[in-house]
Structure 1
Amino acid sequence: MTSYDTLFIGGRWTEPAGSETIEVRSPHDQSLVGRVPGAAEADVDRAVEAARQAFDHGPWPRATPSERRAVLARFNELHTARGRELAALVTSENGTPLWFTGLLHNGGIAEQTASYLRASESFGWEERLESGTTVRREPVGVIAAVIPWNAPHQSALAKIVPALLAGCTVVLKAAPETALDALVLGEIFAEAGLPEGVLSILPAGREVSEYLVSHPSVDKIAFTGSTAAGRRIAAIAGEQLKRVSLELGGKSAVIILEDADHAAVAEGLKTASLANNGESCVAHTRVLAPRSRYEEIVAALATMIEGLTVGDPSDPATFIGPVVRADQQQRVRNYIDLGIKEGARLVVGGSDVPQGLEGGFYVRPTLFADVDNSMRIAREEIFGPVLVVIPFDDEEDAVRIANDSPYGLGGGVWSADAEHGMEIARRVRTGTFSVNGAHAALDGPFGGYKASGIGREFGLVGLGQYVEFKTISS
């Protein structure tokens, strides 16, 4: 069991202000994984004050970009060295299967951080224009970073790393479901040599989150989470004229063209749609299939889903584990029942709990056919292992359906002609898009259109979210 009795505030392990304890329990069997103190508003005050002092008077914002890079590069080495341990810990906390946490913590997150380090080397920190004007990029200030539980280190470091490279100071508010791995980050950053005051890590619930993002000494909010919470944060930022970046929900459509290889499509959607138990903002959960080959595609997807291993997420053979909490389990099951009521055809799965797994928060991987894009199961983010297959008449109809969504985070197309797939990609209004299951490079910007958010993460563009421009005429 992993437990802490102190909080990481301003780079120091500090007694909490309150008496609340967060118990982290396994979604697989509700066994106790560990305990941490729950941060209170007084802890937020201390963390923000430490960040404010470190930004206004400390060495970090005044260090050179190369000096900051050296500390972050050391952090990346130390973090990668603990990859196996961290993958197992996150799996025990949130139910993400070990195959997925292993991919993240044994390569994926390291490359994400490395892409930011490379961006920092080529970033135009200070440039002189032909007119003789100097343009500087300076750190925004104190950052309130608020992250979800579904990929905690990936989300945390997508914000902490560029913020620190830019010279900002950070208060990270971690989700209570993954409070343990959040505090491990404090250990690693301290070992990497981050100066005092620059980083605090506070596990807490929503009320403390709102207190943090509303704090008058915070200059920018960086948030990943639900669109509903993002709207509230955007309202707070607007009232206070804080800078804000929001990575929010999605209901991504993948278009299957008539010439696509259905076996390859099914194998590709196994991860694009159902990785991390379907608890992913970019999951391709709307499958758009041509009427001419509709039943073939439905059958291929059904075969793939029926072959998935559901069970203990710590077993390397498991593909689908439990969802994170009992209320999330019930929410997904309610959507499955709703789909049946809306008239969709249940092909695989259902709202009953898988046999033998009643002790955990399990949901059967579910496939619906004969879905209309107006149905709630096609329009609302379910955040679980549920796919819907929507028929289309021709490519114009497919693009129309793909764009007919309040979201615009991800999407994809499958075609025997990759260049034609690129033509489709240019017409769909989403921040990210894949052709034939290609993986997104971590140096390209990541984020969404419409209700999927504001701003971008990763690479040069992501680093640029943490700077202000200053123009100096001389």
Structure 2
Amino acid sequence: MSQHDRDAFFIDGGWSAPASSALLEVVSPHTEEVVATVPEGTTADVDAAVAAARRAFDSGPWPRLSPAERIDVVQAFSGLYAARLGEMADLITLEMGSPTSFANLAQSPAPWMQIESFLAIAREFAWEEERAGALGSPVVVCREPVGVVAAIPPWNVPQFTIMSKLVPALLAGCTVVVKPAPETPLDGYLLAELLSEAGVPDGVVNIVAAGREVGEHLVAHPGVDKVAFTGSTAAGRRIAAVCGEQLKRVSLELGGKSAAIVLDDADLATTMGGLRFTALMNSGQACVAQTRILASRARYAEVVDALVETVRSMPVGDPADPATEIGPLVAQRQQERVEKYIALGQEEGARVAVGGNGMPDGLDRGWYVRPTVFADVDNRMRIAQEEIFGPVLSVIAYDDVDDAVRIANDSDYGLAGTVWTSDREAGLDVARRVRAGTYGVNTYTMDFAAPFGGYKASGVGREFGPEGLAQYIELKSIYTEG
């Protein structure tokens, strides 16, 4: 028995026995040992969760509270969450192998920052306004909750991606069914405890961890009004098709293959310091990771050498060690997937400048891969076009700035990117020309006051900022006599 074992789901404000005896084993990516077991959700469990959320929306108090009253409850939740940041980070390191240095930066503090940002936005949000109608009579425009929301996060940043959906949905007056990924169910239990302690009414949030087939049942459920999903583009296409058939509201935050453009006037020490994080955050398991590094032919060898030295200097190993920068991948299947891409890159003619297949030095277990930099990469290669989701970088040569922008845009994706230069205005010019939803000049971050999302196959809709709150709103116009 593990201290993290669980035997119930959080449904209708309490702990509900599962409909079956099926279990999910939570396996440490570092030790390959089972660290916890929890129930595996079935369609019957999802049906119970949706029914609870439906009752809470149709006849419960939550949608009928004033925005200020909902803000007070979410503010209480924020305070409770802030007190447990370290515990939440440790859970995520345990269940999916995120290096503790990253976990204590992004896996729990960043979700808490989202809560605070959405609270500030909600306080200023125009929940109802009166406009001067074009026909002479005033019009009242109401912003009302969309209904029951299915929130489906991935395993790589589970709390981060739950919070971007859960908090705006709650502030809007929605009720929610959260389906954590089967690899990362543990953090959802702590989340449930905090929501309950904060006074969120019964049925407003329900949490059932389950696999893909049960997730599809949730997406297609007639009791769900909106689906909010973060994950692969392939899964996003399927979800969009189901929602389109039902005319169900949907927002999708999907994959990326982002480019970091290194201009000739860039300071390489500064650039490498930035790429150390933006290209390899969370061991490369990040949708916004800038895994295509674009360097001019004039400085190509210099950039490759600097990148190789940067990658070599990044400690690989136990994710619980604060010194570790690159940990294991989430599962054996992911390790095998990344190793296949490393082999494919060599078959395509790219040169391994550092790394390659095989376990990193000093490690004989765990789902690790050697951080790898490919040189002599053509942007048409699969390693430059497909999302690998591991610590694998491709350095691509460009002729001039126009060519760099063309290469950056030559992708099915459009999620993120950076440009590195000593000329801010030149950087802003490049940023405006690259078709990506988020972009950085000599930095990359996510500001929770600004919209986040992607162009093209990187998704539909936006998270964060007022735009993220608006994803959980239906607009109603009420016409009155003058």
What is the TM-score of this pair, normalised by structure 2?
Answer: 0.97
| Aligned 1:101-140 pairs, distance under 5 A | 101-105=103-107, 107-131=109-133, 132-140=138-146
Q: Deviation per CA, 1:262-299, whole angstroms, max 9, x where unpaired?
A: 11111100000001000000000000101111111111
% same residue: 57
TM-superposed deviation, 1:440: 3.0
**In the aligned structure 1, how far is the partner of 2:193 from the partner of 2:106?**
19
The answer as to whether partners of 1:35 and 1:180 remain within 8 angstroms in 2 is: no
**2:441 paired with 1:430:** no
Corresponding residue for residue 271 of structure 1: 277
**In the aligned structure 2, how far is the partner of 1:408 from the partner of 1:240?**
27
The answer as to whether partners of 1:434 and 1:440 remain within 8 angstroms in 2 is: no
**In the aligned structure 2, how far is the partner of 1:130 from the partner of 1:362?**
62
User: How many pairs were matched up?
Assistant: 474
User: What SS does the aligned partner of 1:370 have?
Assistant: strand
TM-superposed deviation, 1:102: 0.4
2:328 aligned residue (311, 322, 332)? 322
Q: Deviation per CA, 1:36-78, whole angstroms, max 9, x where unpaired?
A: 1111111111110111111011100000111111111111111
Corresponding residue for residue 331 of structure 1: 337
Per mean C-alpha deviation after superposition, the further-off stretch among 347-356 and 148-157 is 347-356
**In the aligned structure 1, how far is the partner of 2:445 from the partner of 2:458?**
20
**In the aligned structure 2, how far is the partner of 1:257 from the partner of 1:267?**
15
TM-superposed deviation, 1:14: 0.6
The answer as to whether partners of 1:174 and 1:201 remain within 8 angstroms in 2 is: yes
TM-superposed deviation, 1:419: 1.6
Corresponding residue for residue 309 of structure 1: 315
User: What SS does the aligned partner of 1:265 have?
Assistant: helix
User: What SS does the aligned partner of 1:43 have?
Assistant: helix
User: What SS does the aligned partner of 1:268 have?
Assistant: helix
The answer as to whether partners of 2:257 and 2:386 remain within 8 angstroms in 1 is: yes
Corresponding residue for residue 54 of structure 2: 52
**2:351 paired with 1:345:** yes
TM-superposed deviation, 1:123: 1.0
Q: Deviation per CA, 1:223-263, whole angstroms, max 9, x where unpaired?
A: 00000000000000011110000000000011110000011
TM-superposed deviation, 1:417: 0.6
TM-superposed deviation, 1:438: 4.2
Corresponding residue for residue 473 of structure 1: 479
The answer as to whether partners of 1:84 and 1:105 remain within 8 angstroms in 2 is: no
Structure 1 segments unaligned to the other structure (5+ residues):
none
The answer as to whether partners of 2:259 and 2:408 remain within 8 angstroms in 1 is: yes
Per mean C-alpha deviation after superposition, the further-off stretch among 275-284 and 8-17 is 8-17
2:392 aligned residue (367, 386, 394)? 386
Structure 2 segments unaligned to the other structure (5+ residues):
none
| Aligned 1:172-191 pairs, distance under 5 A | 172-191=178-197
**2:129 paired with 1:145:** no
TM-superposed deviation, 1:105: 4.8
**In the aligned structure 2, how far is the partner of 1:106 from the partner of 1:43?**
27
TM-superposed deviation, 1:439: 2.6
The answer as to whether partners of 1:80 and 1:105 remain within 8 angstroms in 2 is: no
**2:376 paired with 1:370:** yes
Corresponding residue for residue 19 of structure 1: 21
Corresponding residue for residue 35 of structure 2: 33
User: What SS does the aligned partner of 1:19 have?
Assistant: coil
TM-superposed deviation, 1:107: 3.1
The answer as to whether partners of 1:97 and 1:315 remain within 8 angstroms in 2 is: yes
1:355 aligned residue (350, 361, 371)? 361
**2:251 paired with 1:245:** yes
Q: Deviation per CA, 1:61-101, whole angstroms, max 9, x where unpaired?
A: 00011111111111111111111111111001001000001
- Letter in structure 2 aligned against 1:424: V
The answer as to whether partners of 2:27 and 2:95 remain within 8 angstroms in 1 is: yes
